[in-house]
Structure 1
Amino acid sequence: MTVSATHQQVMSCADAGLPVLQQLLAPYELEVVLIEEPAPLPGSFWGDPEAGLIGWQLFIRSHTPLQSALHEASHYICMDSLRRARLHTDAGGGYDEENAVCYLQILLADQLPGVGRQRMWQDMDRWGYTFRLGSAQCWFEQDAEDTCRWLLEQDLIDRHEHPTGRLRQGG
């Protein structure tokens, strides 16, 4: 597989470190599984090198973009327990949940040494995320109040906007 220019510009899971990623996601009971080539990457909705989800497992390669791993992990955290119980490849979810996923992946990036929200904003923009204000940072800082409120109501972040380590309940 050749690595595109976009892949070279964004932080990979290897750059962040597998043990650090595993530690970050452990409170959510989400197992990070490293898949070596040439084995297919299980559960990837968008295909290799994008992270995949099946059940409680997040599948990555060393060159999987970190933003992809955090995005899929955030889907797992933000979905209700009924969807989580039958999760296989397509995380689904509506508009509010997708926004919450993007917001939470930025907050999770703040928990990783050497990453942080600035880097996540850059990588999201480089990867092609689109926001009505033109960038991930502008959306996060100026247009995501409803998203922050949703995460608070679901007990996924606290009033200081720190991830709680809890999964969304209900269904």
Structure 2
Amino acid sequence: MQDITTLADLPASAMTDFLARHGIALARVADDAEIPASYWGAPEAGVIGTTLYARADTPVHSLLHTAAHVLCMDEARRARLHTDCGGSDLEEAAVCYLQALLADTLADYSRERLFADMDAWGYSFRLGSARAWFEQDAEDARAHLTTLPLNASARTLLPAD
């Protein structure tokens, strides 16, 4: 299996600065500690409100995915957010699409790297890969993103149609 990019692979402040630009905090936990509010368990990111929890071995794609969930919620839903981001299947697709848009804005990371990490991790898409889905099968996800209460920083990432 291909190596998956983790928080430890990024420059020390890259994820913290990136998340802060989107109104999200990063709480790092010790390498041997459980990750608070992780839906799937370690090493996946956890979330409570607008704080993401991660260890050095947390995959970057997990942090981006969880951040995208937070960005797709309204304030009332964010205020109740703990562990399970919930949402519909269409929202999940929109989150994956936003995750790819976010990847290009993270220092020392890219959409290409995200797609490789998602495929290696086992994300499942009808067309067989994250890239194929994003490029050929994500029209509904892209359209749904425009209906969600994204904050201004995330809204600027949406493609002009």
Asked if these proteins are the same fold (TM beyond 0.5), I'd say yes
| SS of match in other structure, 2:116 | helix
* Alpha-carbon spacing, 1:19–1:138, altered in 2? closer, same or farther (3 Å): same
Task: Tell me how far 1:116 sits from its aligned partner.
Answer: 0.8
Stretches of structure 1 that go unaligned for 5 or more consecutive residues are 163-171
2:155: which partner in 1?
Answer: 157
Task: Tell me how far 1:142 sits from its aligned partner.
Answer: 0.4
Moved more, 10-19 or 150-159: 150-159
Task: Tell me how far 1:79 sits from its aligned partner.
Answer: 2.1
Task: Tell me how far 1:18 sits from its aligned partner.
Answer: 4.1
Task: Tell me how far 1:147 sits from its aligned partner.
Answer: 1.2
1:138: which partner in 2?
Answer: 132
Letter aligned with residue 157 of structure 1: R
The alignment of Structure 1 onto Structure 2 pairs a total of residues equal to: 156
User: Is 2:114 aligned against 1:120?
Assistant: yes
Q: Output aligned runs, 1:24-103, within 5 Å.
A: 24-103=18-97
Task: Tell me how far 1:37 sits from its aligned partner.
Answer: 3.0
Does the 8 Å contact 2:101/2:157 carry over to 1?
Answer: no
Stretches of structure 2 that go unaligned for 5 or more consecutive residues are none
Question: So what's the TM-score if we normalise by structure 2?
Answer: 0.89
2:105: which partner in 1?
Answer: 111
Residue deviations 1:76-125, cap 9 Å, x none? 11123222110111111111110111111111110123311111001001
* Alpha-carbon spacing, 1:161–1:14, altered in 2? closer, same or farther (3 Å): farther
CA RMSD after TM alignment = 1.8
Does the 8 Å contact 1:52/1:60 carry over to 2?
Answer: yes
Does the 8 Å contact 1:79/1:93 carry over to 2?
Answer: no
State the identity as a percent.
47
Question: So what's the TM-score if we normalise by structure 1?
Answer: 0.84
* Alpha-carbon spacing, 1:161–1:21, altered in 2? closer, same or farther (3 Å): farther
Does the 8 Å contact 2:31/2:56 carry over to 1?
Answer: no
Once residues 46 and 19 of structure 1 are traced to their aligned partners in structure 2, the CA distance between those partners, rounded to angstroms, is 25
Residue deviations 1:39-98, cap 9 Å, x none? 321010000110000112100001101001111111111123222110111111111110
Does the 8 Å contact 1:22/1:32 carry over to 2?
Answer: yes
Moved more, 16-25 or 47-56: 16-25
Task: Tell me how far 1:38 sits from its aligned partner.
Answer: 2.8
Once residues 32 and 157 of structure 2 are traced to their aligned partners in structure 1, the CA distance between those partners, rounded to angstroms, is 44
